[in-house]
Amino acid sequence: MITLTDISKRVGTRTLFENVTFTFNSGCRYGLTGPNGSGKSTLLRIVMGTEPATSGSVSLPKKVGFLKQRIEDFRDYTVLDTVIMGNSRLWEAMAERDRLYEVEMTDEVGMRLGELEEIIAEEDGYSAESEAETLVTGMGIPADLHRKKMAEIPTDRQFRVLLCQALFGHPQALLLDEPTNHLDLESISWLEEFLHNYDGTLVVVSHDRHFLNSVCNQIADIDYETIITYPGNYDAMLVTKMAVRSRAEDENKAKEKKISQLKEFVAKFGAGTRASQVQSRIREIDRLQPLDLKKSNIQRPYVRFTVPEKQSGQVVFKLDRVFKGYGDHPVIQKFSCEIHRGDKIAIIGNNGRGKTTLLKLLANILQPDQGKITLGHQAEVGYFPQNHGEVVNKHTEITAFDWLKERKPVVFDQDARGVLGKMLFSGDDAFKAVRNLSGGETARLILGGLMLTAPNVLLLDEPNNHLDLEAVSALAWGLQDYKGTALVATHDRELINGFATKIIAFEEDGAHFFQGPLEEYLAHKKKITSSKA
């Protein structure tokens, strides 16, 4: 159980939370939700004591697992040791024991070693290594890396190790901030199953809607400067929240209508002989005052990619035995396929296997080492890079409005403002300098540029990385409605399921083109794996 008492947090003039008292109960799996900037990660840091609240206090169980983000702190430790550090009492006891074995044995040292062995036994230390191996294997880290130092393994796998660290040692509470960020689909499925069997208090922040729907049985939503809990998963919360808000707004409208009628009566008969009735109406007006509804944080951009004026040819891209590598490391090997007009393709696979490389080859940013890529007749490509800095220069004073106008040779101001409004840049936000935009705002601005220029081919590399849940849903609808050709590299299953009818999967044995949606591909892959077993 985690208890917050009168927690307030202010950042400058902005209030994130105001006197919040809330309990995360044992046995419940909470999704902590709210749009970008609402304070989800800030709240987790307050709970763990790594960031102070403006006021209030937090009560925690003795053993809490927390997903750390600083991989550099563990670069000189082995993978298994890093995982075992998740149980600090056990790790400290083991480290002290090892130090004492290197000094001269005395009665005092012997007694202390006995005490340490008791602690290690209480914390299941003699099975710690096997438990750590089970966790990292489930996260897709092969056995030959388990005893390597963290700095010697790929960065995305280092983040997986830190996730295993948070899960290690049977913590009574788990706090996970974006745990799926560096996981492939198989590892996400393993984590979902692990968390389903977890019986402590789980609080998770994630932009992966599918993950939240699969794991959570409670939603703690940050809105109206407080935390409101809803039973069920994220989709259930959204339905309930919108219904409650709608009812409150309808009640206010009904009250305003009734008040208007009563005021007409008071104005008509206020100076006449019906004084008692007038006073009664005035009292009723006071009683019927509408509720002061604070602005809700539910905001969804309107993502619609205009129907291209000029269609591409039937074959948009033809890849013939394409090879691309970096130094001695081949990434794409002898890959051939045809991408046709209207295809909606999700590009999936572990980080580092070639998703970004493929999109950059198709965008003509990189050239293949061998083979040939042919761009189809009248194909006009719009590219969304994973690194936003490739298209938005954060070292200039240019505003979002001016950046958007530069996307197209001729564009009217009202068209640019219209796109910015759809992407939630209202009022003066349209004139923010791009260097001051958050990751989510920059992502929405780049998407707005693609909406304005209307290419007939979209190449999007992890466009959901900085978007909140509602923006990802809007993007999925926009892609589904798009009449052009779209290839999107992403790990987000909700996004994939929302638009993709074909899959390019980067597996250990290379790239595969699958003519069907994600669920069919996963079933196909499972069938092949079972037949080989």
pLDDT of residue 417: 92
Shared domain for 133 and 200, answered yes or no, is no
- Indicate the average pLDDT of the chain: 85
Instruction: Identify the CA nearest to 146 among candidates 68, 155, 135.
Output: 135
Q: Do 139 and 193 form a contact (C-beta atoms < 8 A)?
A: no
Are residue 326 and residue 439 in the same domain, yes or no?
yes
The yes-or-no verdict on residue 120 having pLDDT over 70 is yes
207 phi and psi, to 5 degrees? -95, 5
Q: Do 5 and 133 fall within a single domain? A: no
pLDDT value of residue 337? 93
Whether the pLDDT of residue 242 is over 80: the answer is: no
CATH number of the domain to which 9 belongs = 3.40.50.300
Would strands 370-375 and 315-326 be described as parallel, antiparallel, or unpaired?
A: antiparallel
| Contact yes or no for 10/16 (Cβ under 8 A) | yes
Residue 278 confidence (pLDDT) above 70: no
Question: CB neighbours of 448 closer than 8 A, spacing ≥ 6?
Answer: 404, 419, 420, 422, 423, 425
C-alpha to C-alpha distance for 136 and 57, rounded to whole angstroms: 35
Assign 501 to helix, strand or coil. coil
- If residue 30 lies in a helix (H) or strand (E), which one and from where to where? strand 29-33
pLDDT class for 109, splitting at 50, 70, 90? Answer: confident
Are 366 and 244 in the same domain? no
pLDDT at 298: 63
> pLDDT at position 504, please?
94
> What's the rounded mean pLDDT across residues 244-255?
64
Q: Encode pLDDT of 374-400 as tens digits.
A: 999 999 999 999 989 898 988 888 999
One domain, residues 409 and 467? yes
Domain span at residue 7 reads 1-62+172-232
pLDDT tops 70 at residue 292: no
Q: Rounded distance, CA 464 to CA 441, Å? A: 12
State whether 37 and 128 are in the same domain.
Answer: no
Q: pLDDT value at position 383?
A: 95
Rounded to whole angstroms, how far apart are CA atoms 276 and 484?
Answer: 69
pLDDT tens digits along 347-375: 998 777 889 999 999 999 999 999 999 99
Confidence at residue 1, expressed as pLDDT on a 0 to 100 scale? 86
The confidence band for 286, taking pLDDT boundaries of 50, 70 and 90, is low
Angle between helices 128-138 and 155-167 (to 10 degrees): 130
Helix 185-196 with 128-138: angle, nearest 10 deg: 130
Region 284-302 average pLDDT: 65
Looking at residue 347, what is its pLDDT?
A: 94
Q: Which residues pair with 29 in a beta bridge?
A: 202
* Lowest-pLDDT choice from 84-93, 120-129, 283-292, 517-526: 283-292
Strand partners, 33: 221
pLDDT at 294: 56
In a shared domain, residues 96 and 51: no
Residue with tokens 């005893």: 147
DSSP 186-249: HHHHHHHHHHHT--SEEEEE-S-HHHHHHH-SEEEEEETTEEEEEES-HHHHHHHHHHHHHHHH
Two structure tokens written together for 334: 């002898």
Task: Say whether pLDDT at 261 is over 80.
Answer: no
Residue 296 has pLDDT above 80, yes or no: no
What pLDDT, on a 0 to 100 scale, did the predictor assign at position 264? 72
As a whole number, mean pLDDT of residues 459-483 equals 90
pLDDT of residue 451 exceeding 90: yes
Same-domain status, 99 and 164: yes
pLDDT digits (tens, 9 = 90+) for 308-317: 778 888 999 9
Do the domain assignments include residue 164? Answer: yes
Looking at the structure, do residues 197 and 108 belong to the same domain, yes or no?
Answer: no
Same domain (yes/no): 355, 207: no
Sign of the CA dihedral 188, 191, 195, 197?
positive
Residue positions counted in the chain: 533
Tell me how far apart the alpha carbons of residues 385 and 465 are, in angstroms, rounded to a whole number: 11
More confidently predicted of 2 and 11: 2
Mean pLDDT is lowest, of 254-258, 289-293, 429-433, 485-489, for 289-293
Are both 181 and 211 inside the same structural domain?
Answer: yes
Together in a domain, 425 and 338:
yes
In percent, the amount of the chain with pLDDT more than 70 equals 90
Is 19 inside a domain boundary? yes
Give the C-alpha separation, 296 to 245, whole Å.
9
8-12: list long-range contacts, CB under 8 Å, 24+ apart.
8/53, 8/54, 8/55, 8/56, 9/39, 9/42, 9/43, 9/46, 9/53, 9/54, 10/54, 11/42
**Using one digit for the tens of pLDDT, what is the confidence trace for 318-327?**
999 999 988 8
Which tokens go with 181?
């960020």
Token pair 């489930």 is found at: 138
Out of 150, 168, 186, a domain closes at 168
The count of structural domains within the chain is 4
